[in-house]
Amino acid sequence: MTRKWWKEAVAYQIYPRSFADSNGDGVGDLRGIREKLPYLKELGVNLLWLSPVYDSPNDDNGYDIRDYRKIMAEFGTMEDFDALLAEAHANGMKLIMDLVVNHTSDEHPWFQSSLRDPDGPCRDYYIWHKGRDGKEPNNWVSFFSGPAWNYYPERDEWALHLFSKKQMDLNWDNPALRREVYDMIDWWLAKGVDGFRMDVINLISKDGLADGSEALAGAIGLRGIEHYFYGPRLHEYLAEMRRESFGRYDAVTVGETAGLGMQMSKMLTAESRAELDMVFNFDALENPGKTRFDDYRYDLRYLKKYLLDWQQNYGDNCWMSLFFENHDNPRMVSKVNPDPAVRAPLAKLLATLQLTLKGTPFIYQGQELGLANVDFASINEINDVESRNLYQELCGKMPSEEAWKRILAGTRDHARAPMPWNAGPNGGFTAGTPWLRMADGWQTCNAADEMRDPDSVFHYYKKLIALRRENPALVYGAFRPVFLKTKRHADVFCYFRVLDGRKFYVECNLTAHQTPRPAPLSGAQAKRIGNYAEEAPVLRPYEANVYEVL
């Protein structure tokens, strides 16, 4: 297996709007992030991913980019960015950007030119079509509700937007557009950024205009999906992009690729194919048959099945990313078990899995504090465009209380609530009014308090991150699961990580009930970390332990 810096890294995702506000306007910013670098250094992470910080009208909080080479005014200036990058590097941390190139804002000069100058150079930068009997060119729907097309009288044509009405899909079949994108990527790489997380990169190749099938739209109702998920020229574009930009730098790429499956994942990340380094696979973020907006308890025994498959079958030519949370998903602890009494042990169990399995861990801000979902009171407290549109749509189909229940189960704002830094006003996030409501409970659950408490979720993460960074066996070691055949041990997940004579053993109880402990290890061993202070003959709720076999 090839050794790479990004396989050994522990990554941390920052949602800048909600991380730290340096100037009291209620919005997190680049200086805020810079002020928190010592915190991140103490935690031990060494690869930072920033959600978009580019100039944007914020219809989708920065995922609608107006200028790829400019910093969003609310977040600061390019000087602030350069200073952040330099200081991250000086502290031994790499920094990757969010690359959003499936679409731009409708306020991007390319779109404005495409719209107003139909014979100009940007004519075919977007996906324009004539209407069908005065209506949309086809029946595709947007991820954010409603038809995926806007009509523009200026061209008497419709333009495709798979996301919000202000996020216009780029036409990747146009080589001139692709060149613009590669030049932009180069510009950032030349500046010294260490790579990119690539937003909905699996959508960039569309296969034409045919109507979407109702049957294939699936539980999420995405009619048209079969025409642009992993489209016909995706691999060609990824390989070209790598050749023309990333490939000439020591940069890492992580594709955001929903609805993936192992075969496609291997095709995207196999070293020999030179497309992407890693992908984010969402296949196990919900239990089978469930979607994010269903109110249910996630059963971790399903995660075990998924991990057993991927850890054993993904091969040595591919490398996984490991994550439970990001800015688009509710908090994992709340999904699995919202009971506050088990929050800490459960958060530590998830940390144990994420930091002892094979793959690069991506921790989402606040996960290291064990943050839970927010008890939003009504749709008025919700900012997210996806939630607001979906709420409107659902209210047409069901009583508004029921619609609200679905939004509350799945809204992306759970993860976007500002970081609680201390027990002071607004959790120390801002001296002003936070742009989005804080989660209740920051008075007792915040970074400062957890840093003082040696038993906190924060300290557990810190110790585990250090353990992983010091032990190549936890990075490159073979994965060897045990106790798979006994029904008695269906609730536990136990495995070894083995490399060059070093051996770690991990045992986890995936349930909220006590369960028999599998036979203990024989021979000399040392416990490296665990989420219960005392040893016991059984595994307690969500118990997790890591031993080194000596």
The residue ranges that bind Ca ion (CB under 5 A) are 21, 23, 25, 27, 29
CB closer to ligand ISL, 34 vs 292: 292
Site size for ligand ISL (CB under 6 A): 13
Task: Give least dist CB 21 to Ca ion, A.
Answer: 4
Q: Give me the residue label for tokens 């070691």.
A: 477
CA atoms of 550 and 547, how far apart (whole Å): 9
Beta-carbon-side half-sphere exposure of residue 19 (alpha carbons within 13 Å): 26
Pick from ligand ISL, Ca ion, none: which does 286 bind, CB < 5 to 8 A by kind?
none
Helices (H) and strands (E) in the chain, counts: 17, 22
CA atoms of 499 and 342, how far apart (whole Å): 34
CB closer to ligand ISL, 435 vs 493: 435
- The DSSP letter of residue 438 is P
CB closer to Ca ion, 34 vs 331: 34
Residues 413-452 that bind ligand ISL (CB under 6 A): none
- For ligand ISL, what does the binding mask look like between residues 86 and 115, x meaning CB under 6 A? --------------x---------------
Task: Give least dist CB 294 to ligand ISL, A.
Answer: 13
Residues 361-400 that bind ligand ISL (CB under 6 A): none
CB closer to Ca ion, 14 vs 148: 14
Task: Give least dist CB 463 to ligand ISL, A.
Answer: 30
CB closer to Ca ion, 192 vs 424: 424
Pick from ligand ISL, Ca ion, none: which does 29 bind, CB < 5 to 8 A by kind?
Ca ion
In the residue annotation, 393 being an active-site residue is answered as: no
Q: Which stretch binds ligand ISL (CB under 6 A): 174-182, 251-259, 356-364, 479-487?
A: 251-259
**Residues paired with 252 in a beta bridge:** 195
Which residue among the candidates 98, 256, 328, 507 is catalytic per the annotation? 256
Tell me the residue type at 205. S
Pick from ligand ISL, Ca ion, none: which does 112 bind, CB < 5 to 8 A by kind?
none
Residue of 474, 473, 461, 491 lying closest to 304 (CA atoms)? 491
Q: CB within 8 A of 294, min separation 6: which ones?
A: 286, 406, 409, 410
CB closer to ligand ISL, 222 vs 447: 222
- For ligand ISL, what does the binding mask look like between residues 34 and 73, x meaning CB under 6 A? --------------------------x--x----------
Question: How many other C-beta atoms can be found within 10 angstroms of the C-beta atom of residue 289?
Answer: 8
In the residue annotation, 256 being an active-site residue is answered as: yes
CA atoms of 21 and 24, how far apart (whole Å): 6
CB closer to Ca ion, 411 vs 430: 430
Strand order in the sheet with 252-257: 278-281, 252-257, 195-198, 94-99, 47-50, 11-14, 360-364, 321-322
Out of 328, 413, 449, 543, name the contact with ligand ISL by CB under 6 A.
328
Pick from Ca ion, ligand ISL, none: which does 143 bind, CB < 5 to 8 A by kind?
ligand ISL
CB closer to Ca ion, 23 vs 514: 23
Which residue among the candidates 199, 275, 286, 386 is catalytic per the annotation? 199
Q: Which stretch binds ligand ISL (CB under 6 A): 176-184, 242-250, 252-260, 452-460?
A: 252-260
Distance in Å from the first CA to the final CA of the chain: 25
CB 542 within 8 A of CB 531: yes
CA atoms of 107 and 55, how far apart (whole Å): 10
Rg (CA), the chain: 23
Pick from ligand ISL, Ca ion, none: which does 55 bind, CB < 5 to 8 A by kind?
none
CA atoms of 360 and 10, how far apart (whole Å): 6
Q: Which helix (H) or strand (E) holds 334?
A: helix 332-336
Tell me the three state secondary structure of residue 200.
coil
CA atoms of 416 and 327, how far apart (whole Å): 6
Task: Give least dist CB 29 to Ca ion, A.
Answer: 4
Tell me the three state secondary structure of residue 427.
helix
- Residue 143 contacts ligand ISL per CB under 6 A: yes
Beta-carbon-side half-sphere exposure of residue 244 (alpha carbons within 13 Å): 16
Residues 185-224 that bind ligand ISL (CB under 6 A): 199-200, 220
Task: Give least dist CB 164 to ligand ISL, A.
Answer: 8
Out of 12, 75, 125, 163, name the contact with ligand ISL by CB under 6 A.
163
Tell me the residue type at 368. E
Degrees, nearest 5: CA angle 359-362-366: 150
- Which positions touch ligand ISL (CB under 6 A)? 60, 63, 100, 143, 163, 199-200, 220, 256, 258-259, 327-328
| Residues involved in catalysis | 199, 256
